[in-house]
A and B are shown apart, each in its own frame.
Chain A
Amino acid sequence: EPEVTQTPSHQVTQMGQEVILRCVPISNHLYFYWYRQILGQKVEFLVSFYNNEISEKSEIFDDQFSVERPDGSNFTLKIRSTKLEDSAMYFCASGGGSHAEQFFGPGTRLTVL
């Protein structure tokens, strides 16, 4: 069964460093998303991406964040200068558009020291 994959599973970085989180969505999906979940809190929407551009972003997704689909398979989230409060689990999701259903990857746990 097709699934969304994410790498790395755990990333530790120093405050101020740049990180890139990688995702491989399900191959025939057209919609791509990033969400995050701070420990003990709910899952929060960050950004959605369709047709090679951002379709919607939340207030969290400020200038420090960017997304890219550099080739036909990968979808990346870049944080330019990480802050302590960026520590969270980051989930990638993809959807084929059918009934708004989204399929989630296993997540990348980002720890900023």
Chain B
Amino acid sequence: AQSVTQLGSHVSVSEGALVLLRCNYSSSVPPYLFWYVQYPNQGLQLLLKYTSAATLVKGINGFEAEFKKSETSFHLTKPSAHMSDAAEYFCAVSPGGNQGGKLIFGQGTELSVKP
């Protein structure tokens, strides 16, 4: 069965510091992978996606993620945190990337940014 594990339910960084949010997946077929961000009282916004092309994926707001098949990981990074990055981040997998397939989400990681 496919699953997603996000290590760390809460990550706190200082403004300007590196952001690293961890995501590991389990999938029996080549997956499509996504990171979504949820700001307070808002819906889920797509940050970036991996769809079997380049393994290093760049997204919005300066975020990027690297797909590592050998480690079954898709960690999200940003070189320099900004106060506006404080939000909940969800990693998700679409098993096989099939059209119309469901997304399976991780537990989420709440990112806090200290001034």
Contact = CB atoms under 8 A, between A and B. Distances in A.
A100 B32 contact: yes
Contact of B103 (A4, A45, A97, A107): A45
A58 B1 CA distance: 13
Contacts of B43: 4, 91, 104-107
Interface of B: 32, 34, 36, 42-46, 49, 51, 90, 92, 94, 97-108
A18 interface: no
A52 interface: no
A42 B107 contact: yes
A30 B96 CA distance: 19
B44 A100 contact: no
14 contacts: A30-B100, A31-B100, A33-B102, A42-B105, A42-B106, A42-B107, A43-B103, A43-B105, A48-B100, A101-B34, A102-B46, A102-B103, A105-B43, A107-B43
A65 B46 CA distance: 27
